[in-house]
Each structure stands twice: as structure tokens, then as C-alpha cells.
Amino acid sequence: MFFEVLIQVIGFTAIAFNLIAVQFNTHGKIIAFKTIGSSLFCLQYLLLGAYTGMVMDLIGSIRNIVFAQTVKKGKPTKNYIIFFSILTLVLGVLSIILTWDVSSIKWTDSVRLATVIMIIVSIISIIAKLLTTVAYGIKNPHLIRIINLFSCSLWVVYNFIVFSLAGVINEIMSITSIIIAEIRFRKPKAKTEELIEENTTNEVVE
């Protein structure tokens, strides 16, 4: 019982780090907290025996560290984005082939329709992972949040189709956190632009 509770605590702690991450407005802090969240999810997947999820999040953690160091040094991340995108795509396809169970699709008793749903759901998850790979290779915090917004939206669809209530709640919380962060950081920007406009107007009048 304690072990099962511990596993869930690790998962919720990981969610907390992911939610806090988007509340920062610097690339380094966003990546740092996201990496901690991914690492904790790796541990949770390992304890649950969900090895495919563990590998995907392990790659995500390594990817985040590489991107953070690359951006910190002022170097381009294009080659790393391409590399990790290909790696994600290959592992995603392998996951479809090796881990998917058609019988897990509860929408229908038809094997053919279940297979189509399986492929669509898998493609959604791959695209969502590719989006975050692109996002964390960008230095601009605003773009990181916006791309993550699209990624989270895809994960909501994915988790809904596979009947993962916890997954849906997690992504909805992430979307809410991103929206809050965008509102927080846009207000000072709007005020600054307003002051600049006022100063410009005063100069013209004078």
C-alpha cells in the first residue's frame, strides 16, 4: 500500500514541477523545472513497469539539459532539434509496433476501427512530443509556452481517447498554468509599450 501511494506522490510531484516551470520567464529556469518533472515521471514509469514511457521521458530529460546548455552558450539548437525530433519519431513508431494493444481501445469491438484509432492516437502523441522538442530548442519563453499550449491540447485528446482521466487533468492544469503565465507576463509588457507611446507623443507635442 505504501509503495503504491509513493508512486502516486512521485507523479503528482512531477506535475507540480511542470506547472511551476511555465511560470518563469527565463529559458534556463523553464528547462530546469521541466527536466526535474520529466525525471520524476521517469522514476514513476520505472516503478510502474511502464518502460516505454520511461524511455521517452528519459530522452526528454536529456534533451532539455542539452538545449539548456546550448542556449546558455549562445549556440544554435537547430541540429539538436533535428536529432531529437528524429529520435522521438523513431521511438514513437517503435512504440506503436512493440507496445500497442488493440484490445485496449474501448470505443469499439471492431479490430479494424480499433487499429485506425490506435494509429491516430499514436500519431497525436508523436506530434505532441515533437512540438515540445521544437519548443525547448527555442530561447524565447513566450514561444516555449505557446508551443507547449498546442502540445498539451494534443495530449488532452490523446488521454481522453485512451481513457486516462489523470492524464486529462494534468494537461488541463498545464494549459491553465500556461494561460496564467501569459497573462502575467503580458501585463508589464503592455504597460511598458503604453509608457513608450506616451513619451513619444509628449516629445512630438513639445
Q: What is the pLDDT of residue 111?
A: 66
Q: What is the pLDDT of residue 150?
A: 92
Q: What is the pLDDT of residue 97?
A: 72
Q: What is the pLDDT of residue 53?
A: 65
Query: Rounded distance, CA 85 to CA 77, Å?
Result: 12
Q: What are phi and psi of 193, to 5 degrees?
A: -65, -35
**CB neighbours of 61 closer than 8 A, spacing ≥ 6?**
35, 38, 39, 42
Fill in the DSSP letter of residue 104. G
Measured CA to CA in angstroms, residue 167 lies from 11, 75, 141, 149, 202 at distances of 11, 35, 24, 15, 53
Q: What is the pLDDT of residue 174?
A: 84
Per-residue pLDDT 10s for the chain (206 aa) are 778 778 878 878 888 888 888 788 887 888 889 889 888 878 877 777 666 667 777 887 888 888 888 878 888 888 888 898 888 888 877 876 776 655 555 556 666 776 777 777 778 878 888 888 888 778 788 888 899 999 889 888 877 776 666 667 778 988 998 898 888 887 666 555 555 555 544 444 44
Query: Rounded distance, CA 119 to CA 103, Å?
Result: 13
Q: What is the pLDDT of residue 35?
A: 87
**CB neighbours of 182 closer than 8 A, spacing ≥ 6?**
142, 145, 146
